[in-house]
Amino acid sequence: MNLEQARFNMIEQQIRPWDVLDSQVLQLLAVVKREDFVPAAHRALAFADMEIPLPGGQCMLTPRVEARMLQDLAVRKHEKVLEIGAGSGYMAALLAHKAQRVISLEIIPELAAMARNNLQKAGIHNAEARLGDGSKGIPVEGPFDVIVLSGSVAEIPQSLLANLKVGGRLAAIVGDEPMMRATFITRTAEAAFQTSQPWDTVAPRLVNFPESSRFTF
């Protein structure tokens, strides 16, 4: 398998057509070696347009979803980022290239260890994978400039919105199958938030987040 050709094809055939046109993001996808964050058994699928299975019943999001979230968040060099759902550490690696510091929380011990190991092997020192329940945020470390949920939730907990700085942005995939919305929330003032939902996708659930209450009559 020609890795560089496969990487080029992923960028040109999956990611660009999904309106990811930011040259810095495209360059980053060419530089950060996605195949090094994929479990060895699935390495041949590193650049495929699919969710790649991870231990604990989790998975890596498709490359186009990760790339589009990265582009739309527009992370800047001075910013501190909280990621919920470290997975294999790939999104944290991408974020680390754009941010000052990244803390990535992972509730599944095997994945937290995998992400930590992958980030270390990739020589990334400003991103740290921690074992923890991301649904609560980390109030002691906050507030954050950016919060990224690398998976879907039924609704965004207030505890995470409270962990955002004024001017900070949160990105999540919100809703229920068959249709979920990429949701971007900016904290515009202490008690004011602005929301946009620019595109649709579907992603697996993050662990431990509440499901929306359904009323039956």
Secondary structure of residue 197 in the 3-state scheme: strand
- Token output for 127: 């991103």
As a whole number of angstroms, the distance between CA 11 and CA 70 comes to 14
pLDDT of 217 strictly over 60: no
Cβ–Cβ < 8 Å for 114, 88: yes
When pLDDT is averaged across residues 147-168 and rounded to a whole number, the result is 95
Q: Could you tell me the pTM of the whole model?
A: 0.94
Q: Confidence class of residue 213 from pLDDT cuts 50, 70 and 90?
A: low
- The neighbour count for residue 141, using CB atoms within 10 Å, is 13
In the chain, the percentage of residues whose pLDDT exceeds 90 is 88
pLDDT tens profile 47-90: 999 999 999 889 999 999 999 999 999 999 999 999 999 999 99
- At residue 177, the 3 state secondary structure works out as coil
List, for residues 160-192, the tens digit of each pLDDT value.
999 999 999 999 999 998 889 999 999 999 999
Domain ranges of the chain: 3-201
Q: Which string of b and e fits 86-105 if b means at least 16 CB within 10 Å?
A: bbbbbbbbbbbbbbebbbbb
Q: Please give the Cα distance from 52 to 114 (Å, whole number).
A: 14
CB-hemisphere CA count at 13 Å for 178? 0
**CATH fold of 3-201, please?**
Rossmann fold (3.40.50)
